[in-house]
Amino acid sequence: MTTSAHSDHLAKVTSLLKSGQAAQVRELIDWLKIPSISTDPEYAKACRDAAQWASDHLGASGFQSSLRETGSKDSPGHPIVLAHAPGAPDYKGPHILFYGHYDVQPADPLELWNSPPFTPKLVDDPSGKDGPPRIIARGAVDDKGQVMMFLSAMRAWKEASGLAAGGVKMTVLLEGEEESGSVHLDSFIDANKAELGACKVCVISDTGMLDRGKPAITYGVRGLAYTEVILHGANQDLHSGMWGGKSPNPISELVKVLAQLWDKDRRITIPGFYDRVRPIAQSERDEWNKLGINPSEALKKIGFPPDANVGESGYSFTEREWARPTAELNGIHGGYTGKGAKTVIPSHASAKVSFRLVADQDPVEITKAFFKWCNDHTPPGCRWELIDHHGGNPATVKTDSPELAAAARAIERACGTRPALIKTGGSIPVAGSLKSKLGLETIFMGFGLDDDRVHSPNEKFELECLRMGTMSHAYLVDELLRM
Amino acid sequence: MTTSAHSDHLAKVTSLLKSGQAAQVRELIDWLKIPSISTDPEYAKACRDAAQWASDHLGASGFQSSLRETGSKDSPGHPIVLAHAPGAPDYKGPHILFYGHYDVQPADPLELWNSPPFTPKLVDDPSGKDGPPRIIARGAVDDKGQVMMFLSAMRAWKEASGLAAGGVKMTVLLEGEEESGSVHLDSFIDANKAELGACKVCVISDTGMLDRGKPAITYGVRGLAYTEVILHGANQDLHSGMWGGKSPNPISELVKVLAQLWDKDRRITIPGFYDRVRPIAQSERDEWNKLGINPSEALKKIGFPPDANVGESGYSFTEREWARPTAELNGIHGGYTGKGAKTVIPSHASAKVSFRLVADQDPVEITKAFFKWCNDHTPPGCRWELIDHHGGNPATVKTDSPELAAAARAIERACGTRPALIKTGGSIPVAGSLKSKLGLETIFMGFGLDDDRVHSPNEKFELECLRMGTMSHAYLVDELLRM
């Protein structure tokens, strides 16, 4: 194919995408209506339907696509959509793996949604008086909306060029368990190394921009170690009058232990916790300082005053998210939690304790060190039940690869502005798995916004972000064809 | 009435009670079948039925008894049973107020009951091979079984002497909201001061013995201040990847604040908390040391090893329950508490925090001091919502009154052993109200056992305790007639 043929195709692609945005939104709404909540077995059929929907879309864009089963009888899994575009005979660029996920988080608490989570609401007032035009639904941005950008770009390239992925050699993997721990993904990758191993680089659209109108490429994600700790006391609930002050109260004891996870500088006190943490290079620090991130503005958006800018001593707001590990209590429970008063000392109390990790921390090592720390802090007369809910590796990818440069050029051509190089505090464990199992680097090319309410009620995706992302994926094909 | 007439009556009373125990148990079973759960509005009719049952019983024993309404349209209450025995013309003893309650705790968790909570089960194997003969039901000991001791004694005295309460001047007040905070009791006492104010001393059977076969008079109960604290952070739940380490996590912050409630000696750190605590007299300490209480044995019964004997430094196991205040976390809740993992930082976290108080601490003052302490420890960027669920005054009563001496003699005659003088860590707020509003001292004459599973599944009352208590109440009438 000649460069002029590319140009002709690209012109047609961008024209198709511009004229087709309303149709694209209608398609996305159809997909969002399917409640593909992976963590709840009741929605297994919906997960399969959402997978089939995506597979059909890819099929119609010329991909050889099918649902691939995961799991076993004892551990049932949701299907993975796996699709291939063979690449044009003269394609010389890298074999691309596109990864996304079709499953979504549970929608509860339902009462906080202003419209039903699986009845997508389109707010499309061009005047923007009601706020930026957007789609509101569970999964709007995480990750169906972001996968839709890719699907639409692929559809346009097929229509313009007649070829799947416009002639780029590409494999697509859409997972159905990202929101429930990706429990079957690693074994799927292991079992399909031959089919996946030819890929050279992975593209994932499940991250965010720096801000509205400011696209970004994310080059680092944090890892995760997620645990649950249960502290057991007496073999029965006790009357707090008869027993208060006489023997350990598991809630009070748990609280006293967990409070020691941080020192007064908000550093984590587990021995060895920071041993493998890569220091922040001065050059990175300088680049991040130039990004103009305003902590007070960011905090204000979620209802915090400026003095809520607290975290590990010696690091900035951005550094603490992008380059420093943290320990979080994601849940705590014990005793009576209904209305009013009950004077009980419960037999046990529990907490969900997770750690966000940075390169080169190892979630297995960290969990082990935390459990040892718990055992070293066992309150008198009590015993621990320690549960490992697993997690994922942190990933920091090369910023000087030709593929990342191609992605940056694609975004700049699509959006009219150079993408910032940023990191995120979130975790995308698949990147770590792809790196360790297949040697693949990942380019995170995402178009979400900080206030998209990911995992929360009233999740949204703004149409301008959808547009920028769709165009960027379309230009990425053009950039890959030129390589 | 002559002393020989008393003796004739008493002989008949004891004979009637001995021959009538089976009938007494059948009556108690009838009463226990009525699910008078006061905290749940669904059981309002059952509460009224249980009140009527007791009122009818008292009426048949010669009392002028009726149900008295409490509460208002906005705050509906359960009726109070109020009954009077006029006293024989020649009665010279004190006007007695008998207090008890006919309501019970909720029965949940139902699945932990071995027999249905409102289908009383009589285990009456005289060989004791299945354990001591007992009645198993919600309310078996707390407080229907203990009130039944009094009702049966009154029935026998009426049959033997022809007089209500055998000629003792007596008022009976059976409350229906003891298990749900006694919310209308104080206003009832205020509104009926003329009717109640003539009483001189109150008798309550809602406490325990020192051990099987070791009766006791309780001369001190702890008070209670019950609060709920809610710590608010962001105005929405946050993704722990995006926000972990950047801003306060309400669970972690709450845990760090609450852990500071105690110092390393397990003393409460709220300024002024101990200011009004009466020191333990050396004579009390000596008496308690003679009681032969074995902490390791007590802890073993509830599944604790001996090293669970922890509490405020410098005080013994028994002293910590009977004479020292304590702070307890009765409940804690925040974030995700379902199965598995969710990486949320919630917008708020909460705890139920209660204080058991001793004379002369004031629950209103303590709550105020605790809330000030919370405000002084507000984590950066967060705000408190502080709720007062109220409580009750501690009470320590005189041990040298002629009425207490009479009660002690009655118990010794009924049981063949002198009652121990003990305290309890539980709270019976009515005693504080009667003291402050009417100037009444209270004699706690209870026959429960430590392992009766009060407020828990499989609550029981042993028939030997029922017998001892019934006889003791019968002898108390005789003692009062002699005063």
Which residue of chain A comes nearest to B351, CA vs CA? A337
Strands A383-392 and A170-175: unpaired
Which chain B positions have a beta carbon within 8 Å of A363's beta carbon?
none
pLDDT tier at A232 (50, 70, 90 boundaries)? very high
How many Cα atoms sit within 13 Å of A136 on the Cβ side?
17
Q: Where are the beta strands (DSSP E) in B166-213?
A: 170-175, 201-204
Closest CA to B206 of B162, B289, B148, B157: B148
- From B43's Cα to the closest Cα of chain A, the distance in A is 17
DSSP code of residue B379: P
The pLDDT score that the predictor gives to residue B342 is 86
pLDDT in tens, B184-200: 999 999 999 999 999 99
DSSP H/E element including A392:
strand A383-392
Whole-number Å distance between alpha carbons of B58 and B62:
7
Which chain A positions have a beta carbon within 8 Å of B255's beta carbon?
255, 258-259, 329, 332
Which residue of chain B comes nearest to A226, CA vs CA? B341
Which of B255, B297, B424 would best serve as a mutation to test chain A binding (most A beta carbons within 10 A)? B255
Whole-number Å distance between alpha carbons of A85 and A64:
7
pLDDT tier at B2 (50, 70, 90 boundaries)? low
- From A196's Cα to the closest Cα of chain B, the distance in A is 28
Indicate the domain borders of chain A: 3-221+395-481, 223-277+325-392
Residue A36 clears pLDDT 90, i.e. is over it: yes
The pLDDT score that the predictor gives to residue B300 is 95
Residue A208 clears pLDDT 70, i.e. is over it: yes
pLDDT in tens, B121-132: 999 887 878 889
Closest CA to B329 of A341, A351, A382: A341
- pTM above the 0.80 mark? yes
DSSP code of residue B111: G
DSSP code of residue B180: G
Q: At what angle do helices A3-19 and A463-481 cross, to 10 degrees?
A: 170
* φ/ψ (deg, to 5) at A37: -85, 105
Whole-number Å distance between alpha carbons of B165 and B473:
10
Which of A105, A247, A428 would best serve as a mutation to test chain B binding (most B beta carbons within 10 A)? A247
Residue A5 clears pLDDT 80, i.e. is over it: no
Q: Do A352 and B337 touch (CB under 8 A)?
A: yes
The pLDDT score that the predictor gives to residue B126 is 76
Q: End-to-end CA distance of chain A, in Å?
A: 12
**A296 vs B: CB within 8 A:** no
Which residue of chain B comes nearest to A424, CA vs CA? B242
**A130 vs B: CB within 8 A:** no
Q: Considering CB atoms only, which of B299, B324, B346 is closest to A247? A: B299
Closest CA to B209 of B201, B200, B218: B218
> Is the torsion defined by CA of B338, B344, B346, B347 positive or negative?
negative
Q: Do A251 and B329 touch (CB under 8 A)?
A: yes
**What would the DSSP string read from start to end of A126-149?**
TT-TTSS-EEESTTTTTTHHHHHH
Residues B394-425: b if buried by 16+ CB within 10 A, e if exposed:
bbbbeeeeebbebbbbbbebbbeeebbbbbbb
The pLDDT score that the predictor gives to residue B50 is 98
Q: What are residue A121's DSSP bridge partners?
A: A136
Which residue of chain B comes nearest to A40, CA vs CA? B339
**A302 vs B: CB within 8 A:** yes
The pLDDT score that the predictor gives to residue A108 is 84
Residue A128 clears pLDDT 80, i.e. is over it: no
- Angle made by CA atoms B360, B366, B367, in degrees to the nearest 5: 145
* φ/ψ (deg, to 5) at A57: -65, -45
Share of chain A above pLDDT 90, in %: 87
**What would the DSSP string read from start to end of B296-353?**
HHHHHHTT--GGG---STTS-HHHHHHT--EEEEEEEEEE--SSS---EE-SEEEEEE
The pLDDT score that the predictor gives to residue A396 is 87
- From B219's Cα to the closest Cα of chain A, the distance in A is 15
Q: In sequence order, which residues have a C-beta less than 8 Å from that of residue A65 and are 6 or more positions away?
A: A55, A56, A58, A59, A81, A82, A83, A84, A172
Which of A105, A141, A243 would best serve as a mutation to test chain B binding (most B beta carbons within 10 A)? A243
- From B239's Cα to the closest Cα of chain A, the distance in A is 7
Q: End-to-end CA distance of chain B, in Å?
A: 12
Which chain B positions have a beta carbon within 8 Å of A356's beta carbon?
240-241, 244-245
Interface of B with A in 175-234 (CB under 8 A): 180-181, 222, 224, 226, 233-234
Q: How many CB pairs under 8 A join A and B?
A: 300
The pLDDT score that the predictor gives to residue B4 is 59
How large is the average pLDDT for residues B442-462?
A: 93
Q: Considering CB atoms only, which of B260, B303, B332 is closest to A333? A: B332
pLDDT in tens, B233-249: 999 899 899 899 999 99
The pLDDT score that the predictor gives to residue B329 is 98
Q: Do A329 and B335 touch (CB under 8 A)?
A: yes
Q: Do A343 and B380 touch (CB under 8 A)?
A: no
The pLDDT score that the predictor gives to residue A27 is 98
Q: Do B334 and A336 touch (CB under 8 A)?
A: no
The pLDDT score that the predictor gives to residue A2 is 53
Which chain B positions have a beta carbon within 8 Å of A343's beta carbon?
224, 226, 328, 330, 354, 427
How large is the average pLDDT for residues A374-394?
A: 95
Structure-derived torsion over alpha carbons of residues A449, A450, A454, A458, reported in degrees to the nearest 10 = -80
**What would the DSSP string read from start to end of A148-194?**
HHHHHHHHHHHHHHSSGGGG--EEEEEES-GGGT-TTHHHHHHHTHH
Instruction: Sort A412 into a burial class: Cβ within 10 Å, 0-12 / 13-18 / 19+.
Output: middle
Fold type of domain B3-221+395-482: Aminopeptidase (3.40.630)
Whole-number Å distance between alpha carbons of B87 and A103:
78
| Cβ–Cβ < 8 Å for A362, A390 | no
pLDDT in tens, A108-123: 889 999 999 999 999 9
Residue B428 clears pLDDT 80, i.e. is over it: yes
**B109 vs A: CB within 8 A:** no
Which chain A positions have a beta carbon within 8 Å of B317's beta carbon?
246
Closest CA to B224 of B108, B438, B370, B385: B370
How large is the average pLDDT for residues A384-404?
A: 92
The pLDDT score that the predictor gives to residue A384 is 98
**A60 vs B: CB within 8 A:** no
Do the first three CATH levels of A3-221+395-481 and A223-277+325-392 match, i.e. the same topology?
no
The alpha helices in B199-273, defined as continuous H runs, are 240-243, 250-258
Residue B13 clears pLDDT 90, i.e. is over it: yes
pLDDT tier at A180 (50, 70, 90 boundaries)? confident
Whole-number Å distance between alpha carbons of B78 and B102:
10
Q: What are residue B7's DSSP bridge partners?
A: none
pLDDT in tens, A320-356: 999 999 999 999 999 999 888 888 999 999 999 999 9
- From B302's Cα to the closest Cα of chain A, the distance in A is 6
The pLDDT score that the predictor gives to residue B3 is 56
How large is the average pLDDT for residues B356-376?
A: 96
The overall average pLDDT reported for chain B is 95
Which residue of chain B comes nearest to A296, CA vs CA? B247
**A326 vs B: CB within 8 A:** yes
The pLDDT score that the predictor gives to residue A3 is 56
Q: Could you confirm whether domain B223-277+325-392 is CATH 3.30.70.360? A: yes
The alpha helices in B382-456, defined as continuous H runs, are 402-415, 429-438
Interface of B with A in 229-288 (CB under 8 A): 233-249, 251-252, 255-256, 258-262
Q: Do A246 and B424 touch (CB under 8 A)?
A: no
How large is the average pLDDT for residues B202-214?
A: 94
* φ/ψ (deg, to 5) at B17: -70, -40
| Cβ–Cβ < 8 Å for A462, A233 | no
Q: Do A332 and B331 touch (CB under 8 A)?
A: no
- From B175's Cα to the closest Cα of chain A, the distance in A is 19
Residue A244 clears pLDDT 90, i.e. is over it: yes
Residues A249-266: b if buried by 16+ CB within 10 A, e if exposed:
bbbbbbbbbbbebbeeeb
The pLDDT score that the predictor gives to residue B109 is 82
The pLDDT score that the predictor gives to residue B125 is 82
How large is the average pLDDT for residues A458-472?
A: 97
The interface predicted TM-score of the complex, written ipTM, equals 0.88
**A367 vs B: CB within 8 A:** no
CATH superfamily placement of domain A3-221+395-481: Zn peptidases (3.40.630.10)
pLDDT in tens, B86-112: 999 999 999 999 999 999 999 988 899
Which chain A positions have a beta carbon within 8 Å of B458's beta carbon?
none
CA A459 to chain centre: 14
User: Is residue A277 helix, strand or coil?
Assistant: coil
Residue A220 clears pLDDT 70, i.e. is over it: yes
